[in-house]
Amino acid sequence: MLLPCNTSAIKLEIFEPVKNYLFIAKKATMITLSNIQPGKTQFDEDRIHIESLGLVIPFQPAIVEKKTIQTILEYTLEMVQLKLERKFDQSEINSVVKKLENIFCRLNYDSHRKSVAIIMEGEEEVKIIYLNYSGKPVFQFNGTFSLLDLVGDSAQNPEFELLVFHNDRAELYEYFNYSLHRVFAQDHNFCKEKEEINNCLISRIFNIIKQVNGKNEKPVFLYSVDSQYANEFCQNFNFKEIAFKINLIYEGEMANTIELLVKKITTQWKHHQSKLIKGQIQIAKKNNSLISNLYKVVSSLKNGDDGLLLVDNFMKEEIHSTSTDLQFQSATQKLNNEIEKFLARGNRIEITEDGLLENLGGIALIKDDGPAFEIERATRIYNIEEIISY
């Protein structure tokens, strides 16, 4: 069971108790306390009610320990309480929190997805959509919003591969959930006389990267002490469009070097994310798997096509603004419904920086065979402080 949230009741003094009887002399009518109706306060006149609510929560129970999931859900309830308590009556807030507690109990705790979206509209209607990306919690209430709006406000966490060539060793790391995990390591003395052995090692690394990043969803960063092997790898890598060399001015102990590399990548993540998307588009063009412009993308979504949906931030705002325009409301609702079904199938979406998709009409779909079922390594855990910081 979820722990109860700390609540602070809102105390309102509506009227002072009336102790004496009042008389209206003309009619000699006695008015008692039970006849007196308290006048409306400014709070009553301005009070609004909770009509709709939307959440996106990190939720990956198949590989995250139960205690961690519990902490995330408890934090979510506290976040809802905190954001609502100055705008709504406490009894109404308590009712919403109770509904969320009941929803949390009914979630699919065998899910292999990375997060869950919850949309509550009115008294009864509740949508629960399991999403295939990880990001920080998002919360919206009232107003008009769709799953696209919620996803667009959820900053996705950095995920990437890091290949490091030492003088006598090669190591491949995978970064996710704010931590670095070593996937592969092999001692190896790189030299020109051992070109055949060098190529054998590189080929092995290629195959591992293909397994952990088969859909080119993550960038591959390469670092080597003398840059030689990083250059060779980039030139020979099948998908060099998403492989990027990274350098450091300061180089000390290797452990410190790797820590600095991770810090440099995560600090500049938005920049690297844009480079990744450009590379993904180039690969899709070569493979004839890119669909662009709104009409063609919508038609593809209606056909049930899977893949990666790219939406320019400006396009996202345009879709939101037309959702309240009577002239376009129906068409926008149909588009949002198709996007919702697309994400519910386990597909991914990226909201790109303004202008990045200008030549593609602001929206594009990179088609693939759909989300594959993969059993992630059980070592993947959430860093609670990073996830729930706000």
- Tell me how far apart the alpha carbons of residues 359 and 381 are, in angstroms, rounded to a whole number: 39
Say yes or no to pLDDT of 380 above 70: no
19 occurs within a structural domain: no
The domain spanning residue 168 has which CATH number?
A: 3.30.420.60
204 occurs within a structural domain: yes
Distances from the Cα of 346 to the Cαs of 59, 69, 381, in angstroms?
Answer: 14, 20, 20
378 occurs within a structural domain: no
Residues 128 and 172 in one domain: no
- Tell me how far apart the alpha carbons of residues 164 and 167 are, in angstroms, rounded to a whole number: 10
Residues 148 and 170 in one domain: no
Residues 235 and 253 in one domain: yes
Residues 265 and 293 in one domain: no
Highest mean pLDDT among 133-147, 188-202, 203-217, 349-363: 349-363
12 occurs within a structural domain: no
For 65-95, what is each residue's pLDDT tens digit? Answer: 889 999 999 999 999 999 898 888 888 899 9
Last residue of a domain, one of 153, 169, 184: 153
CB atoms within 10 A of CB 30: 10
Residues 212 and 298 in one domain: no
The domain spanning residue 331 has which CATH number?
A: 3.30.1330.30
Residues 293 and 219 in one domain: no
Predicted TM-score of the model (pTM): 0.76
Say yes or no to pLDDT of 2 above 50: no
57 occurs within a structural domain: yes
Amino acid found at 84: L
Residues 148 and 168 in one domain: no
15 occurs within a structural domain: no
Last residue of a domain, one of 122, 138, 153: 153
Across the range 15-20, mean pLDDT stands at: 35
Residues 145 and 187 in one domain: no
Domain that holds residue 120: 48-153
Residues 145 and 171 in one domain: no
Residues 265 and 308 in one domain: no
Residues 172 and 242 in one domain: yes
Last residue of a domain, one of 272, 306, 338: 272
90 occurs within a structural domain: yes
206 occurs within a structural domain: yes
For 161-214, what is each residue's pLDDT tens digit? Answer: 999 988 778 899 999 888 899 998 888 766 655 666 667 777 888 888 888 888
**Phi, psi values for residue 310, rounded to 5°:** -110, 125
Residues 63 and 105 in one domain: yes
Confidence of residue 19 (pLDDT cuts 50, 70, 90): very low
The domain spanning residue 75 has which CATH number?
A: 3.30.960
Domain count, the chain: 3
